Every structure is written in structure tokens, then in C-alpha cells.
Amino acid sequence: MNAPVVVKRLFDWKVRGFRWVEIIGVVMVAAMVFSVYVAKAGAARESARIGELERQIADNRQRVRLLRAESTRLEQPGRLEALSRAAGLAPVDVERQAEAGALNGLKAVDAPTEVTPRAVYVAPAPVEDEPPALPNMEVAQ
């Protein structure tokens, strides 16, 4: 058999009144339509996700602007000065300032004493429907 005869036979072969080539063509068109539908549905999902992310970015930018404005308001020198005066804080007097060479002569602050751990009884909280527990002895730190 030569090739033209085989090809002619393939094109002439019929299944229930339809040529085999027409059936293959319809199946391929249906597969392409389905793949385009799936691609469009995926693109729509991604578009919705991008829109959501853009809204979140806009919200975060608004929050950043508000936080910067709040930070600017809280860091105003006049406000900080008023708060420090209300708390009883004041600048260091000139007589109390020390030069770098005189730092060794200042009185050293005593180091804190070492605390030794000791046993402490911790009473458990009462829980309903349970028998009373034995006391735990834990070491305080």
C-alpha cells in the first residue's frame, strides 16, 4: 500500500455516518474551547487576587501616613519639654557636669548583691471536678 491510499482510506472511514476526521476535528475544537475557558477562569482569579493586594497596599500606605503624622506629633520638642517639666525632669546643672578626665574620680555605684534562689510554694488554682492536687515546690528565680 502506498501513502495516498492509506490517507484516502483514513479520510473516507466513517463511524455511524460521520467521517473519522470530522469526529477528531470536533473533539479538538472542544478541547481548545475548554482550555480557553480554564485559562480565562484562572486569569479572573489572579485578577481578583491582584485587586485585593492593591487594596491592602493602599490601606497600608494610609496607615503609614497616619503613623508618621502621629510620630511627628509625639516627637515635637515643645511637647516633650512640657512633659519632662511635668515629670519633674530638668537639664543637668553646669556644676554637676564632669570632664572626661574626671570620670575616674567619681564615686562608683555599688554592684547589686547576688540573689540566691529559694524554694517557694505556689498554690495551684482550684479546678472544678478534679481532686485537690499536691503542692508544687518550685525554685524562684
Q: Is residue 22 part of a domain?
A: yes
Residue 9 three-state SS: helix
Paired with 119 in beta bridges are 139
The yes-or-no verdict on residue 107 having pLDDT over 70 is no
- Domains identified in the chain, total number: 1
Residue 141, pLDDT score: 44
The CA–CA distances, whole Å, from 59 to 69, 70, 81 equal 15, 17, 34
Q: Is 20 among the domain residues?
A: yes
Could you read off the pLDDT of 62-82 as tens digits, one per residue? Answer: 999 999 999 999 999 888 888
More confident call, 62 vs 19? 62
Other C-beta atoms closer than 10 Å to the C-beta of 21 total: 13
Report field, pTM of the whole predicted structure over 0.75: no
Residue 68 within any structural domain of the chain: yes
